[in-house]
Amino acid sequence: MKEEKILSGHCRSEGITIYLIGTKREFIHLSFSRHRHEEAIKRLTLSGLNVVRRQTFAGFCLEFDEYIKGQRRTFSVQSGSLFSGRATPFQQRLWQLIKSIPYGETRTYGELAEKLGNPSAARSVGQACAANPLVLLVPCNRVVGSNNIGGFSGGVEIKRKLLAIEQGGKCSTAIQISNSFFVNK
């Protein structure tokens, strides 16, 4: 059986770029960070896989554009990350929990730690979010600090924009996070 090609590309909408790695059937890595994207390609190449660059993912790019413009809430693509197969059981449980956070809502690192049965693991939740190989499909942008926006692998400015989009506003609106408001400048 012939090995399936690994494809790499990117989409851009409203000044936001997402970098993609996948096959014709599913995504294995999505990132708002070009550096993280290049690191993922390097790991795949070192493991013996051939990554074909500069590919177009027209279907996903259309959905991404609709999402960024506030016209889409979910994505129809499949995710089967080679990288998530290397995840710890804690990360896998957390990522499943994050997938259940509704569009436009947030949860704190502490709330998720508590739901996982370890209330003192808020920092571990943050670290697992940072290791998430499938941003948007596992929407870690919806996970925030109890009194601040928290971090994000794609950068805090991208996180602010995504939260504003999901809350029906423009990137310059106030963002409601749990019981607090943060002004997005």
Annotated catalytic residue, options 11, 61, 129, 140 = 140
Tokens representing 36 are 């993280």
pLDDT at 177: 46
Cβ(97)–Cβ(140) below 8 Å? no
Can you give the pTM of this predicted structure? 0.85
DSSP states along 93-129: HHHHHHHTSPTT--EEHHHHHHHTT-TT-HHHHHHHH
pLDDT digits (tens, 9 = 90+) for 49-96: 889 988 888 999 999 999 999 999 999 876 665 555 678 889 999 999
pLDDT at 3: 67
Facing residues of 20 across strands?
9, 30
* φ and ψ at residue 4, rounded to 5 degrees: -70, 140
Amino acid at 58: A
Residue 140 appears among annotated catalytic residues: yes
Q: Which residues of the chain have pLDDT under 50?
A: 1, 171-185
pLDDT at 101: 96
pLDDT at 105: 95
